[in-house]
Structure 1
Amino acid sequence: MKFINYLESISGISVYPMASLLLFTAFFVAASLWALKADKKMVDHISRIPLENDDANPQ
């Protein structure tokens, strides 16, 4: 028996794909709004963090 047949036998299973799509869409919209409204100086600072030389933590 295929896995899809097990899923079809569960009542109310069709709610989960719709809930996950709505959750993903809400997160994507919230992240996009934050990115558009974020302070440009903060975004510039965050983008430079990986390039900064950290003398306190030698590798």
Structure 2
Amino acid sequence: MLKFVKDHMATIEGIEIYPIISLSIFFLFFAVLFWWVFTAKKDYINKVSKFPLDNQENN
């Protein structure tokens, strides 16, 4: 089965770009997320972190 898939994938033109695109999207997403975490304002983080607790107190 694996040989069939490997042989079939080798016949598709331009397929070698898909792993590069996927890795680029993956890296870009986590790089942006990492940047956002370190640049987020502390008061915003504190406000958002209290949402679950505020919701319980209101019920």
Name the TM tier (shorter chain).
0.7 to 0.9
- AA matched with 2:35: L
Root-mean-square deviation (CA, aligned residues, Å) is 1.5
Matching residue of 1:49 = 51
- Give unmatched runs, 5+ long, in structure 2: none
Q: Which amino acid aligns with 1:40?
A: K
Q: Where does residue 15 of structure 1 map in the other structure?
A: 17
Gaps of at least 5 residues in structure 1 are: none
Higher helix share: 2
Identity %: 31
- For this pair of structures, how many residues does the alignment match? 55
User: TM-score, normalized by length of structure 1?
Assistant: 0.76
Residue 28 of structure 1 corresponds to which residue in structure 2?
30
SS at match of 1:7: helix
Q: Stretches of 4+ moved more than 6 A in 1?
A: none
